[in-house]
Amino acid sequence: MSLFQEFSGVGPLWKNDRIKVVVSENILNEYLRVVEKISSVSGRNDLYEYWRFVIPKKVELITVKKLFQLCRDPNDNKFLDCAIAAKAKYLISGDQDLLVLKNVMYVQIITPKHFLEVF
């Protein structure tokens, strides 16, 4: 099973409000840049128009007050910062730079497949 397929299993939980997705402004902006790039490359500008309204309405925006330097990839620290600020139980990721940490404070860092097994 590909990582994309694993994440697609989490999507319906989010869509149906069975899980809460938290993001910082930095993460939200990154998500929107990625959607815009995918839309542009695929020639599907409707994707960006749709997701730029859906994502902000379906996530909880978290204010990050403390920055940590815990990840071997500094660009991934923003996900840890947000999860810690939100007091999240899980950080769901396919990124090995995050997964190698396993737990940070009260946050378990797990794959989408593992999350679906424990949820």
Q: How far apart are CA 44 and CA 85, in angstroms?
A: 35
- Find out whether 109 and 98 touch, Cβ atoms under 8 Å: yes
Domain boundaries, the chain: 1-19+70-119, 25-61
Q: Strand locations in the chain, DSSP E?
A: 21-23, 59-61, 90-92, 103-104, 107-110
At 37-77, the pLDDT tens digits run: 999 999 998 988 998 999 999 999 999 999 999 999 999 99
Q: Are 91 and 78 in contact (CB under 8 A)?
A: no
Is residue 22 very low, low, confident or very high in pLDDT (cuts 50, 70, 90)? Answer: very high
Taking the whole predicted model, whether its pTM rises above 0.95 is answered as: no
